Amino acid sequence: MNWEQLLSLKRFGDTEKRPRISQDETRLGFDVDFDRIIFSSEFRSLQDKTQVIPLSETDFVHTRLTHSLEVSVVGRTLGRRVGKVLLERHPNLVDLGYTFNDFGAIVAAASVMHDIGNPPFGHSGEKAIGEYFSSGNGVKYKDQLTPKEYQDLIDFEGNANGFKILTENKEGISGGLRLSYATLGAFLKYPKESLPKKPTNHIVDKKYGFFQSEKEAFLDVVTDLGMTKKSIENVSYFRHPLAYLVEAADDICYTIIDFEDGINLGLIEEEFALEYLIKLVKDTIDIKKYHSLQHKKDRVSYLRALSIGVLINEAVDIFLANEEKILAGNFERSLLDKCKYEAQINDIIKLSISKIYQSKEVVEKEVAGYRIIADLLDVFINALNNQHVGIASNFDSLILKLLPQEYQTKSTSLYERIMSICSYVSGMSDGFAIRLHKKLTGNSI
């Protein structure tokens, strides 16, 4: 892979190249990507989607939206710092007009939308959709779908759903949000289809990045970017290098900031903050300043800021030291998996799992989410399918009046009809899903 091709400004439908040197410096194409994401309805819905801890009476718990914004800030810094060195290594990029801010803008845009495809109720929302089709009422569709179509459903993946949102053609709108291909490439953490599942231990095989419905769009993007094929038999590619920075930004934020939330909520004792985070910041902490802070929230915030700074430095150093391996597709782990603080990070995550992710409040919300998502999928898929074969009941007709027009596909493909409903349900905020479920079950009129 080469950087000139990987930094493509092309957008869906372009018939001519977009040279970097001819860009308007007051509104670069990569900045336009960020703006389009921020103004999208799918991004706005993240304000009422669970990050880890459900929305509570406190005002500092992170939602998917605040998490995404923070990831974009870290991502921008990672991109700029890496970009500064890459321009020194590849002066031809300077001649073409690229600056270190371009790298920052690409990573920031890909980072701010990294969770845009996630269903309501956190990661359990993905599992709830998958289990509806693998062991719930949706299992009846298995024999009517291809193996890859069925795998898309039973392993429903927020990353693939995000790519669908960003690129899907709709009536009157071609190419989704029409983002630059460089940004779309950086977004693709797992540039492969759903089968075969985890064929190797390479990081790109951990999950998958697109549904069968977006296969053509995916191939268009990776071909334009010159991303390297990983498999001849199946659709699988090595990552766009900047996807490693997007992943690192996410890893840094959820590791440290979820931990911070747990401390501020009282789920983790403050003493653990100093014990666990001090191992990350021992070379940068000002102990006198730390003890001068009067409030727990301020002390934890100070440790969080230092920890993020340390991990940013680590991610940048590891990326730059392994640039050639990354470009060749030979870097098989995430950046933080290779850092000298791997053990400390794992300790923090282990404590977060036991004290935060498995707390009663989180589990209760996840349990409710399973039931809500399964019921919503059942009602809307049945109604759409019954309409297709001409046996819609009066109840089905009423249900379809609740379904927004853009999801009322007339497709003869069962897969496309099911995916349309999955898109509708996964796009719901936590609150909307709860309210709609109450209405459908007669608990709120």
pLDDT score recorded for residue 56: 52
pLDDT tens digits along 1-26:
999 999 999 999 898 889 999 998 88
Mean pLDDT of 160-168: 97
Mean pLDDT of 280-308: 91
Distance CA 354, CA 175 (A): 42
Mean pLDDT of 70-84: 98
Distance CA 110, CA 271 (A): 35
Mean pLDDT of 101-111: 98
Distance CA 443, CA 439 (A): 6
Domain-embedded: residue 82 = yes
pLDDT tens digits along 379-435:
999 999 999 999 999 999 999 999 999 999 999 999 999 999 999 999 999 999 999
Determine the longest span between alpha carbons in the chain, in angstroms: 74
Distance CA 123, CA 159 (A): 11
Confidence of residue 169 (pLDDT cuts 50, 70, 90): confident
pLDDT tens digits along 154-163:
999 999 999 9
Residue 144 scores a pLDDT above 60: yes
**Considering the chain, what percentage of its residues have pLDDT values greater than 90?**
79
pLDDT score recorded for residue 58: 54
pLDDT score recorded for residue 310: 97
Distance CA 199, CA 332 (A): 13
Mean pLDDT of 58-82: 90
DSSP state of 284: T
| Contacts (Cβ under 8 Å, ≥6 apart) of 72 | 34, 108, 109, 111, 112, 249
pLDDT score recorded for residue 395: 95
On the CB side of 316, CA atoms within 13 Å amount to 21
Domain-embedded: residue 29 = yes
pLDDT tens digits along 341-367:
999 999 999 999 898 888 887 888 888
Q: For residues 348-369, b (16+ Cβ closer than 10 Å) or e, as one string? A: bbebbeebbbebeebeebbebb
Domain-embedded: residue 435 = no
- Match 């990050």 to its residue by tokens: 51
pLDDT tens digits along 253-268:
999 998 988 888 888 8
Domain-embedded: residue 19 = yes
DSSP H helices, 19-63, are 29-38, 41-44
Range of the domain at 92: 8-112
pLDDT tens digits along 198-250:
999 999 999 999 999 999 999 999 999 999 999 999 999 999 999 999 999 99
Mean pLDDT of 57-67: 75
Residue 55 scores a pLDDT above 60: no
345 contacts 40 by C-beta, under 8 angstroms: no
Domain-embedded: residue 84 = yes
Nearest CA to 125 out of 366, 441, 432 is that of 366
Q: How many domains does the chain have?
A: 1
Distance CA 96, CA 405 (A): 44
Nearest CA to 248 out of 184, 319, 164 is that of 319
Domain-embedded: residue 81 = yes
pLDDT score recorded for residue 51: 78
Distance CA 243, CA 226 (A): 14
Domain-embedded: residue 37 = yes
Higher pLDDT among residues 325 and 172, named by residue: 325
90 contacts 129 by C-beta, under 8 angstroms: no
CB atoms within 10 A of CB 3: 21
Nearest CA to 218 out of 195, 246, 243, 187 is that of 187
Domain-embedded: residue 378 = no
Distance CA 65, CA 114 (A): 10
Confidence of residue 40 (pLDDT cuts 50, 70, 90): very high
pLDDT score recorded for residue 114: 97
CATH number (domain holding residue 95): 1.10.3210.10
pLDDT tens digits along 107-141:
999 999 999 999 998 788 999 999 999 999 999 99
Confidence of residue 297 (pLDDT cuts 50, 70, 90): confident
CB atoms within 10 A of CB 138: 22
Mean pLDDT of 54-60: 55
Distance CA 187, CA 244 (A): 10
